[in-house]
Chain A
Amino acid sequence: MTGHTISRNRYFLIFAALIVLLVLTIFMAYVDLGPFNVIVAITIAIIKATLVILYFMHVRYSSRVTWVFVSAGFFWLLIMFTLTMSDIATRFTF
């Protein structure tokens, strides 16, 4: 940790952004975009998660080693999704 402190206003700003994104998620659930509904919902979820990680979890102000481990966590998640989908997306026969 670098000891960087985040101002209270910044926390409230992030909190407000999360609430807006939450309302947007609910709103978009009632708009029929076909297969794009899932994409929109996941995109909003990723933005929300990123805000939480960067600010509430202080990663934005953390050391490079912390960044490496956070990235590693997502890299491993990517491995899990990609290789699992290598099965689920190819369960067909010619």
Chain B
Amino acid sequence: MSTSGSENHTNYLNDGYGVKSWLLTTDHKRIAILYMISITLFFMIGGFFALVIRLTLLSPNGTLVSADTYNKMFTMHGVTMIFFFLIPSIPAVLGNFLVPMMIGARDLAFPKLNLLSWYIYVLGGIFTLSAMVLGGVDTGWTFYTPLSSGYSHTNVVPTVIGVFIVGFSSILTGLNFIVTIHKMRAPGLTWFRLPLFIWAHYATSVIQVLGTPVIAVTLALVGFERITGVGIFDPNIGGDPILFQHLFWFYSHPAVYIMVLPSMGIVSEVVTCFSQRKLFGYRQMAFASMAIAVFGFLVWGHHMFVSGQSVYAGMAFSALSFLVAIPSAVKVFNWTATLYKGTIRFNTPMLYAFGFIGLFTIGGLTGIVLATLPVDVHVHDTYFVIAHFHYIMVGGAVMGYMAGLHFWWPKITGKLYPEGLAKFSALTLFVGFNLTFFPQFILGYLGMPRRYHIYPPEFQVLNVLSTAGASILGLGYIIPFFYFMWSLRKGKVAGNNPWNAKGLEWLTTSPPPTFNFDKTPVVTEEAYAYPEEDLVGG
């Protein structure tokens, strides 16, 4: 196995320089970079919509944009961030880059399908961006019927086609991971020696493969009803609008776990490395990932307590929703227990991982609040819900993505970023995030509804705080963008394993060679085999 730390070795970055060598590549690492650039672009677009939302809410009178434009802003913010940033973020970027390397494979099982998935993503993105340029869409990211299927006069069909298309990219990524993890593990790498990042991606892939077709069919039915007038969801022509919500949330609730499970995988890698400890309760963590993937499909009705859904179904969904808390809590407790007696280093990835654990816990616990039927009736469609899911999706999923990006950046690029600035940026992001979203819990509890561009004047102080927080949060995202770019040219050479981490990906060079390993590695130890001190009597 090659151990050279030189940046001049042949690697996936210098193995061909032309545009064609990138656009026709089947190398999972290059495809990961293509995805990274694409999702960053969509993150900026989605961030712009968020900026307009927060600036509008600075004033109770909604002076910046009209009510109609505001409706479009929050819709396009949601559509962009969920379907074009969060869902592909970790699996398509870090998963693509790392899954084959972590299991000692040369590439994914279907490299051409992998490239196809990126092209499908781009095609879906073009449709959705076109809809935005043509005047936008105002249905909310949930596309609820009958608004979306009959009443909205905005660009619903091209947006829905875009989301429909991008779903196939997600399915192909999931399919590729499942087959790769089953079939291409290095000799000695048994299921219970796999890093938890791999378990997390396996669980995520199961959701992608089994859930995404349902949203695709559902959105196709919305388009079909709009175009043909055949009653499926519109009650005027014999349809059932609540059926749409069932089908939509059957996918879209588990989609939350598509976003957050991979982050959990990253946190497991980071926490073990920066405490130099074996993970506490490895098997429970692996099973917890799978349990989250399965339980996630049993709880969707908690989004529909006030929709007109039967109250008996509501009670069942409320009770089932509490189940998800069990594996989630197992994870939080096990990460915390892993730190016990560890040699903890507060490097940037670890700061983000700590951020994840704390913010995900708040997001998860407020999820329990919302899953409690009578409480949800009170706070449904208020800012409490907005705060809750941003704690999961930004505080959880994006924090995890940032942790992973910082953790593996030296492997991906062969360069180190400026650690001091990165720590400052992580703290800025943490402070900005909480200042943005914590006031929204209070606003929601006090009764401020979501999706309105005006609000009573007594809510202004908390809204101003939230917008101020969003500015700090924005800074927390912009700083890493610049130092990452800077590091590509000026960063110190990273070496193969700058964090002293365990895992096959750290055995090869940075950046890795095109086929990852000069010789297929043979695995002889458990995951996270960090040297242990005797804890007895400690």
Contacts and interface: CB of A to CB of B under 8 A. Distances in A.
Contact of A83 (B210, B211, B242, B301): B301
A83 B300 contact: yes
B450 interface: no
A9 interface: no
Interface string A59-77: 0000001000100110010
B312 interface: yes
Given A79-B297, A84-B243, A90 B310 contact: yes
A34 B434 CA distance: 60
Interface string B202-221: 00001000110010000000
A86 interface: yes
B246 interface: yes
Contacts of B304: 87
Report the contact-size class of chain A (Cβ under 8 Å from the partner): 10 to 19
Interface in B275-302: 297-298, 300-301
A17 interface: no
B214 A80 contact: yes
A71 to B, nearest CB: 11
B182 A83 contact: no
A87 B246 contact: yes
B377 interface: no
Contacts of B211: 76
A91 interface: yes
Nearest to B320: A83
Report the contact-size class of chain B (Cβ under 8 Å from the partner): 20 to 34
B84 interface: no
A40 B206 CA distance: 33
B446 interface: no
A76 to B, nearest CB: 5
Contacts of B242: 87
Given A65-B182, A76-B297, A83 B313 contact: yes
Contacts of A84: 243, 246-247, 250
A86 B297 contact: no
Contacts of B312: 86, 90
A87 B310 contact: yes
Interface centre among A72, A73, A83, A92 (most CB of B within 10 A): A83
A62 B206 CA distance: 19
Nearest to B210: A76
Contacts of A80: 214, 246-247, 250
Interface string B350-387: 00000000000000000000000000000000000000
A79 B313 contact: no
Contacts of B243: 84, 88
B236 to A, nearest CB: 19
Contacts of B310: 86-92
A86 B210 contact: no
A86 B247 CA distance: 14
A59 to B, nearest CB: 16
Interface centre among A86, A88, A89 (most CB of B within 10 A): A86
B316 interface: yes
Nearest to A89: B310
Contacts of B309: 87, 91
A50 to B, nearest CB: 19
Contacts of B298: 79, 83
A65 B183 CA distance: 11
Contact of A87 (B182, B214, B297, B301): B301
B317 interface: yes
B210 A72 contact: yes
Given A76-B210, A79-B297, A87 B250 contact: no
A51 B178 CA distance: 26
A89 B300 CA distance: 17
Interface in A7-64: none
B313 A86 contact: yes
Contacts of B240: 88
5 contacts: A65-B182, A76-B211, A80-B246, A83-B246, A88-B310
Interface of B: 178, 182, 206, 210-211, 214, 240, 242-243, 246-247, 250, 297-298, 300-301, 304, 309-310, 312-313, 316-317
Q: Which 9 A-B pairs have the closest CB atoms?
A: A87-B313, A90-B310, A90-B312, A86-B313, A84-B246, A91-B310, A76-B210, A87-B310, A87-B309
Interface of A: 65, 69, 72-73, 76, 79-80, 83-84, 86-92
Given A72-B206, A86-B310, A86-B312, 10 more contacts: A69-B178, A73-B210, A79-B298, A80-B250, A83-B246, A83-B301, A84-B250, A87-B309, A87-B310, A88-B243
